[in-house]
A and B are shown apart, each in its own frame.
Chain A
Amino acid sequence: MSELSGGGRESGVPAGWEAVIGLEVHVELATASKMFCPCPTRFGAPPNGQVCPVCLGLPGVLPVPNRQAVELAVKAALALNCRVATYSKFDRKNYFYPDMPKNYQISQYDLPLAGDGYLEIPAAEGSRKIRIRRLHLEEDTGKSMHAADDIVTARYSLVDFNRAGIPLAEIVSEPDLSTPEEARLYLEKLKAIMQYCGVSDCRMEEGSLRCDINVSVRRPGERAGTRTEVKNVNSFRAVERALAYEIWRQVQLLEAGGEVEQETRHWDEGAGRTRTLRTKEYAHDYRYFPDPDLPPLVLDPTWIEEVRRSLPELPDARRERYVRELGLPPYDAAVITASRGLAEFFEEAVSAYPQPKAVSNWVMGEVRRYLNEHGLEPEDIPVRPGHLAELLRMVERGTINTRVAKQVFGVMCETGRPAAEIVREKGLEQVSDEAFIDRAVEEAVAGNPAVVADYRKGKEKALGFLVGQVMKATRGKANPQMVNRLLRDRLGPPGPA
């Protein structure tokens, strides 16, 4: 988590301008069944493989609210410091769309489930509160697939209704964000909180966390300008890029004497730009009204308190605990607690190998590197925390050196097998046999007179090359400390003898 920069190019906001940003985030709730029917919510089922008359909106069907969805949404709301309404209601949002079975979406309009909350994002001065305006429940729509690149040229389109009726919590922030980076930090924090409370798995690539951006720009001290909305921006990187682009576009327009039009835009990831989706003339009149098929949602305050008590430790609390109890540097604590999966992996590994900083180094280094390289979520770390602990113990005992450990870790990731097994099988145990290593040192010195001469001229770096040669000769198994010592013994201190 990098420090916030103070405006200018690197913040994504041109000098002399301010951006006003609000995010609407759709979080797919981790329920077993859909919002209003018993259909399963598994990802990746064959098209239209989890549908029933209710989620298909067939004539005559009626919605019945999912208890678990309500509970998860209340959890989310409480974790975001929201006030949960004891009386809310479901409304119909009417518009025609080919992948929407009823041509209205059941959502919540004027009386949402919760509101008035906030979350904290890291900031230069420690942290900054971003207010949450509202959190409400709604159902997802289906998905169209066009028999061509786009809807215009397609000869026909197919619709998959597996997503139709999936429960969503829509979380709307106040326009408290002012840079693309802040928007990303907000989203990261939101994701972490949702994952911590088990509200959602927040897999962006599966669409279980989606983001709409509202943004306008202004000169400092002036009123906010006309805003645009960028729909369905589906990765942290895309949110940052789309925002930076949109802010730049608006500033360009205004500086050239033009005007920003209020419109809905689409982020084109490939082209790296936003495009007009629909302008104000096409702004929808959704004709919201209370859904007559659903009685108001009346929640018992004691039940809400029970849910509050069931909330797990949230990222901020956990970060502070890591610093306080485990002595982790704040930076490490922040990185690790940013994801529930990472934090849980870390904690389990620490309980098996109680050296927090050593574990943290590995989690922040190798583990994250592997996840990034393979595009995996922290929940998908293929190595068991106990296995990492074992690996670290082997390093500590000197059974293997760090270099080999990294190699072994790679194999562990590929195979899921424990470290000891891999080390044994590949014969990677560290060698601390002095005579054996000294022989390799002697060969390295004899074989590289030029390097030795450099070292003697005072080039400390030359020693590193010789260490490398020895390690190569011993297939990485030599005890590095011993290699260093023996080399220095043989060469003496750097500089003219």
Chain B
Amino acid sequence: MRRGELRARDLVESCLGRTASLDGVLGCFLTLDGDRALERAALIDEELARARRQSAGVGETGAHPSAPAARPDPSAGGHGILAGIPYACKDNMCTRGVTTTCGSRILEGYVPPYDATVVEQLTGTGAILLGKTNMDEFAMGSSGENSAFFPTRNPHDTTRVPGGSSSGSAAAVAAGLVPFALGSDTGGSVRQPASFCGVVGFKPTYGRVSRYGLVAFASSLDQIGPLTLTVADCALVMEVMAGHDPRDATSAQVPVPQYTAVLGRDVRGLRLGVPREYMGEGIEPGVREAVRAALGALADLGCAVEECSLPHTDYALAVYYLVAPAEASSNLARYDGVRYGLRVEGGDITAMYSRTRRRGFGPEVRRRIMLGTYALSAGYYDAYYLKAQKVRTLVRRDFEQAFARYDLLVAPTSPTVAFRLGERTDDPLSMYMADVCTIPVNLAGIPAISIPCGQSEGLPVGLQIMGPPFAEGLILQAAWAFEQATGGAPWRQEVTP
């Protein structure tokens, strides 16, 4: 694009074209912002062309080679590293002037007056927002079926779910509708759909990426992460998004390394732990086999692979289903019909509140609000919420102890491959099991990636690589090495519809 061989406009048009032909079936997008994306693409093309003319001119006049480049136009972002690259954003990140619904009726038609920090960052480096992707309502769900509007389908098999809750983002990347997309990961909502859809999904360290503008589900667990086709793309997007944000008090003040620069580094001698709790009962044999094969590939690369233990893994799911609903019950209290979004009139204010919330929230959201409200109630707080926080500390300590011995931990991302639409909708508990391998990572606040590592039943299997806090670089380095080593694997050539 910089050389002028490809125009941003063409790229955006091609993405929009592919979306037009495929999204009717897939249901990835809740909002498409095609006109504005095209406008922005035209601006960026102009700017890139101007920059090319200028650098050519500079050469002719023999100016000093280190002369500063033309000042970038912040509105276009043509000089940024993502100049002209279209992307999609999960519908729980605020986009100024573009509808943001969180997949919920309660926010239907809501247009935020501000951009989330990540959206600002991407815009600043020239990325072009194509639209907002479908999701489980308020990011609660593991299949994409909890969207209040319509379900998303898995591009590998449209009778299957894409995973959730960043369903639309994962499916859009897998189907080639966009080169990359943003998701949010509270209990695995980036990694699990990445696993189901055969793409790369990254959940950074808690505090690594600003949460400002991410509509909160469970504040102490939420983290924004990219969904991409390759590890290199993931590193590039992470480079743009990571870093301290003064508008987020939980944002970490830790310097951001250049993630793209670590990719080629050797992984020989890396100590990898494989927690046995993630490889036993409940993990589908096909998934276990694919992960075993992946471990073999990593060993072939010179990594030391060894079984280890995270003894409190069994409690993670229970802890999550107390902490996350507790925070959600409070975070979602603001949707009451008073200030924005849906309002269902009632005789008095209390009736208006409850009618609005009953009509506006779907069953899963209501279920979790009630669960959380109960867990925080006087008389139950100590027994549930407080106890859960204590166990959460034990889960975190498991990881700390493991990372004292191992550089990284490797495990399946999901115990199964993508299941069929409707298969688990009537059984919340079996649905909750879909995140059993990813949830401990959120409780501990550590970073983890999911990368495609093989197939089972002809569907993608994801490999999860977890690291200590702020070890994003090391995770990407290992993931990249694995991706390169398996570049010729047959499942890699599989192209989606």
Q: Which residues of A line the B interface, CB within 8 A?
A: 53, 56-65, 92, 94, 96, 98, 101-104, 159, 285, 287-289, 291-295
Q: Are A64 and B249 neighbours in the complex by a CB distance under 8 Å?
A: yes
A-B contact pairs, 24 of them (CB 8 A): A53-B113, A56-B339, A58-B114, A59-B94, A59-B100, A59-B102, A59-B110, A60-B93, A60-B214, A61-B212, A62-B211, A63-B249, A64-B246, A65-B249, A96-B336, A98-B338, A101-B339, A288-B381, A289-B327, A289-B381, A292-B218, A292-B327, A293-B219, A294-B250
Q: Are B249 and A289 neighbours in the complex by a CB distance under 8 Å?
A: no
Across the interface, name the chain B residue whose C-beta is closest to A102: B334
Contacts of B326 in A (CB 8 A): 289
**Interface assignment of B216: CB less than 8 Å from any CB of chain A:** yes
**Interface assignment of B434: CB less than 8 Å from any CB of chain A:** no
Q: Are A98 and B112 neighbours in the complex by a CB distance under 8 Å?
A: no
Across the interface, name the chain A residue whose C-beta is closest to B354: A96
Given contacts A287-B373, A292-B219, contact A59 B339 (CB under 8 A): no
Query: Which of A58, A62, A94 is within 8 Å of B330, CB to CB?
Result: A94
Q: Are B330 and A92 neighbours in the complex by a CB distance under 8 Å?
A: yes
Across the interface, name the chain A residue whose C-beta is closest to B210: A62
Q: Are B113 and A287 neighbours in the complex by a CB distance under 8 Å?
A: no
**Interface assignment of B220: CB less than 8 Å from any CB of chain A:** yes
B residues 192-218 with Cβ under 8 Å of A?
A: 211-216, 218
**Interface assignment of B430: CB less than 8 Å from any CB of chain A:** no
Q: Are A59 and B378 neighbours in the complex by a CB distance under 8 Å?
A: no
Cα–Cα, bound, A102→B213 (Å): 15
Cα–Cα, bound, A295→B445 (Å): 14
Kindly list the 7 A-B residue pairs having the minimum CB-CB distance in the complex, ordered from nearest. A103-B333, A292-B220, A292-B219, A287-B376, A59-B215, A60-B94, A60-B213
Q: Are A64 and B112 neighbours in the complex by a CB distance under 8 Å?
A: no
**Interface assignment of B351: CB less than 8 Å from any CB of chain A:** no
Q: Are B334 and A103 neighbours in the complex by a CB distance under 8 Å?
A: yes
**Interface assignment of B258: CB less than 8 Å from any CB of chain A:** no
Q: Mark B345-372, 1 if CB is under 8 A from A, else 0.
A: 0000110010000000000000000000
Contacts of A102 in B (CB 8 A): 333-334
Query: Which of A63, A104, A295 is within 8 Å of B333, CB to CB?
Result: A104
Cα–Cα, bound, A94→B374 (Å): 13
Distance (whole angstroms) from the CB of A256 to the closest CB of chain B: 34
Contacts of B102 in A (CB 8 A): 59
Contacts of A295 in B (CB 8 A): 249-250
Distance (whole angstroms) from the CB of A405 to the closest CB of chain B: 57
Q: Are B376 and A60 neighbours in the complex by a CB distance under 8 Å?
A: no
B residues 319-341 with Cβ under 8 Å of A?
A: 326-327, 329-330, 333-334, 336, 338-340
Contacts of A103 in B (CB 8 A): 333-334, 336
Distance (whole angstroms) from the CB of A139 to the closest CB of chain B: 14
Q: Are A94 and B110 neighbours in the complex by a CB distance under 8 Å?
A: no
**Interface assignment of B248: CB less than 8 Å from any CB of chain A:** yes
Contacts of A287 in B (CB 8 A): 329-330, 373, 376-378, 381
Q: Are B330 and A285 neighbours in the complex by a CB distance under 8 Å?
A: no
Cα–Cα, bound, A291→B381 (Å): 15
Contacts of B278 in A (CB 8 A): none
* Given A60-B94, A285-B377, 5 other A-B residues pairs in contact with their CB atoms under 8 A: A60-B112, A60-B216, A61-B213, A103-B333, A292-B218
Main secondary structure of the interface of B (DSSP, over half): loop
Distance (whole angstroms) from the CB of B408 to the closest CB of chain A: 27
Q: Are A94 and B339 neighbours in the complex by a CB distance under 8 Å?
A: no
Q: Are B116 and A60 neighbours in the complex by a CB distance under 8 Å?
A: yes
Given contacts A293-B219, A295-B249, contact A53 B333 (CB under 8 A): no
Across the interface, name the chain B residue whose C-beta is closest to A293: B219
Cα–Cα, bound, A405→B247 (Å): 58
Distance (whole angstroms) from the CB of B317 to the closest CB of chain A: 19
Q: Are A57 and B212 neighbours in the complex by a CB distance under 8 Å?
A: no
Contacts of B249 in A (CB 8 A): 62-65, 293-295
Q: Are B333 and A94 neighbours in the complex by a CB distance under 8 Å?
A: yes
Cα–Cα, bound, A293→B373 (Å): 18
Across the interface, name the chain B residue whose C-beta is closest to A65: B249
Across the interface, name the chain B residue whose C-beta is closest to A59: B215
Q: Are B333 and A101 neighbours in the complex by a CB distance under 8 Å?
A: no
Across the interface, name the chain A residue whose C-beta is closest to B248: A62
Interface magnitude class on chain B: 35 or more
Cα–Cα, bound, A287→B93 (Å): 27
Contacts of B373 in A (CB 8 A): 287
Q: Are A64 and B247 neighbours in the complex by a CB distance under 8 Å?
A: yes
**Interface assignment of B465: CB less than 8 Å from any CB of chain A:** no
Q: Are A59 and B112 neighbours in the complex by a CB distance under 8 Å?
A: yes
Cα–Cα, bound, A58→B246 (Å): 18
Interface centre among A59, A61, A287 (most CB of B within 10 A): A59
Cα–Cα, bound, A154→B100 (Å): 33
Q: Mark B8-19, 1 if CB is under 8 A from A, else 0.
A: 000000000000
**Interface assignment of B41: CB less than 8 Å from any CB of chain A:** no
Across the interface, name the chain A residue whose C-beta is closest to B338: A98
B residues 131-183 with Cβ under 8 Å of A?
A: none
Given contacts A58-B113, A60-B116, contact A289 B330 (CB under 8 A): yes
Distance (whole angstroms) from the CB of B324 to the closest CB of chain A: 10
Distance (whole angstroms) from the CB of A416 to the closest CB of chain B: 44
Cα–Cα, bound, A159→B338 (Å): 10
**Interface assignment of B29: CB less than 8 Å from any CB of chain A:** no
Distance (whole angstroms) from the CB of B138 to the closest CB of chain A: 10
Query: Which of B107, B247, B385 is within 8 Å of A62, CB to CB?
Result: B247
Contacts of B327 in A (CB 8 A): 289, 292
Contacts of B247 in A (CB 8 A): 62, 64
Cα–Cα, bound, A295→B247 (Å): 13
Distance (whole angstroms) from the CB of B388 to the closest CB of chain A: 11
Q: Are B219 and A59 neighbours in the complex by a CB distance under 8 Å?
A: no
Q: Are A59 and B334 neighbours in the complex by a CB distance under 8 Å?
A: yes
Q: Mark B215-245, 1 if CB is under 8 A from A, else 0.
A: 1101110000000000000000000000000
Q: Are B246 and A96 neighbours in the complex by a CB distance under 8 Å?
A: no
Distance (whole angstroms) from the CB of B40 to the closest CB of chain A: 22
Cα–Cα, bound, A60→B247 (Å): 11
Contacts of B336 in A (CB 8 A): 96, 103
Distance (whole angstroms) from the CB of A312 to the closest CB of chain B: 31
Cα–Cα, bound, A61→B249 (Å): 11
Cα–Cα, bound, A62→B250 (Å): 9
Distance (whole angstroms) from the CB of B111 to the closest CB of chain A: 11
Q: Are A59 and B333 neighbours in the complex by a CB distance under 8 Å?
A: no
Contacts of B218 in A (CB 8 A): 292
Q: Are B114 and A94 neighbours in the complex by a CB distance under 8 Å?
A: no
Across the interface, name the chain A residue whose C-beta is closest to B116: A60
Cα–Cα, bound, A168→B219 (Å): 24
Query: Which of A59, A62, A63, A98 is within 8 Å of B349, CB to CB?
Result: A98
B residues 65-110 with Cβ under 8 Å of A?
A: 92-94, 100, 102, 107, 110
Q: Are B381 and A60 neighbours in the complex by a CB distance under 8 Å?
A: no
Contacts of A60 in B (CB 8 A): 92-94, 100, 112, 116, 212-216
Across the interface, name the chain A residue whose C-beta is closest to B113: A53
Contacts of B92 in A (CB 8 A): 60
Contacts of A92 in B (CB 8 A): 330
Cα–Cα, bound, A288→B330 (Å): 10
Contacts of B248 in A (CB 8 A): 62, 64
Cα–Cα, bound, A482→B211 (Å): 82
Contacts of B353 in A (CB 8 A): 96
Cα–Cα, bound, A64→B247 (Å): 6
Given contacts A60-B216, A102-B334, contact A53 B114 (CB under 8 A): yes
Cα–Cα, bound, A102→B330 (Å): 8
Across the interface, name the chain B residue whose C-beta is closest to A56: B339
Across the interface, name the chain A residue whose C-beta is closest to B376: A287
Contacts of A64 in B (CB 8 A): 246-249
Distance (whole angstroms) from the CB of A54 to the closest CB of chain B: 8
Across the interface, name the chain B residue whose C-beta is closest to A103: B333
Q: Are A101 and B334 neighbours in the complex by a CB distance under 8 Å?
A: yes
Contacts of A59 in B (CB 8 A): 94, 100, 102, 107, 110, 112, 215-216, 334
Distance (whole angstroms) from the CB of A223 to the closest CB of chain B: 24
Contacts of B349 in A (CB 8 A): 98
Cα–Cα, bound, A53→B112 (Å): 9
Distance (whole angstroms) from the CB of A361 to the closest CB of chain B: 54
